[in-house]
Amino acid sequence: MMKNIKILALVLTVSLMTFNCSKDDDNNVKSNAPDFSGTYVQEDQMGRPAVNTVFVASADKDTYNITTPSSQNAAFQSKFEANLLALSPAYANGGTNALGQDAATFTGLLATDVLNVSLDGKTTFFDGENVLTGRALADDVITVELLLIFGGEDFSENPGLSNDNVDANDKTFLTSFPYLASPH
């Protein structure tokens, strides 16, 4: 039995090698079409900036990346809330952020890691007027998140922690496609 398996394996190996050789044969006209077959299995995902890095404990980071957004709230909201309360004094004693969200509400929003995008107008993470209508390249998303984490009801709490004082990219973005600046 064992021997048969080995022979079978050998036959399979040889046939696979043969297949690979013919695939690389330039005389074969069919080889021009790229092979897109197969199943692709998730490794990483991202919606809003910094959510996994900020709120997910080390042991959970890989799991979070392979939990579908529709399942993330049930699996992670309470952990996010505990981490937020441990991290920021702004939410102690029922405190809220400038959006009027307490710790449970804010982490309820963040745990489902999708980016909300408006198809009807300005797209920005936060510009003082529009909230979570997209994410533009120039949006200072880290300061927005620091303000929401540490800044309290009116963005005035913990001022040394609520702005990293880096307000813009080191290169100017393009006004037209592909929008991102050329590489350094």
Partner 1 sequence: MKKLKTVLGIGAIAVASFFIIAADHIDAPAVAGGNSDITDFYAFQGQNEDNLVFVANLQGLLSPSTTGSATFNENVLVEFNIDTDQDNIEDLVIQAVPRNGKMYFFGPIAPAQTGLNSMIQTNALTGEVDITAYGSAPVITTNGGMSFFAGPRDDPFFMDFAQFSEIIAGNATGFNSPGADTFAGTNVMSIVVEVPKSMIGGSGTINTWVESKRK
Scan residues 43-102 and list those touching partner 1 (CB under 8 A). Answer: 43-47, 49-58, 61-62, 64-66, 68-70, 82-83, 86-89
**Can you tell me which residue has the tokens 């049930």?**
74
| Residue 141: CB minimum distance to partner 1, A | 8
Q: Is 183 in the site for partner 1 (CB under 8 A)?
A: yes
Q: Whose Cβ is closer to partner 1: residue 10's or residue 59's?
A: 59
Contact 97, 56 (CB under 8 A): no
Residue of the chain from 42, 94, 128, 154 that contacts partner 1 (CB under 8 A): 42
Report the DSSP beta bridge partners of residue 126: 131
Q: Whose Cβ is closer to partner 1: residue 5's or residue 40's?
A: 40
Q: Whose Cβ is closer to partner 1: residue 98's or residue 143's?
A: 143
Residues 103-162 touching partner 1, rule: CB under 8 A, are 112-124, 133-137, 140-142, 158-161
Q: Is 166 in the site for partner 1 (CB under 8 A)?
A: yes
| Residue 12: CB minimum distance to partner 1, A | 20
Main-chain phi, psi angles of 126, to 5 degrees: -170, 125
| Residue 23: CB minimum distance to partner 1, A | 13
Contact 176, 120 (CB under 8 A): no
Q: How many CA atoms lie within 13 A of 60 on its CB side?
A: 17
- Total residues at the site for partner 1 (CB under 8 A)? 83
- Tokens representing residue 145 in the block: 């998140």
Range 37-56 burial, b when 16+ CB lie within 10 A, else e: eeeeeeeeeeebbebbebbb
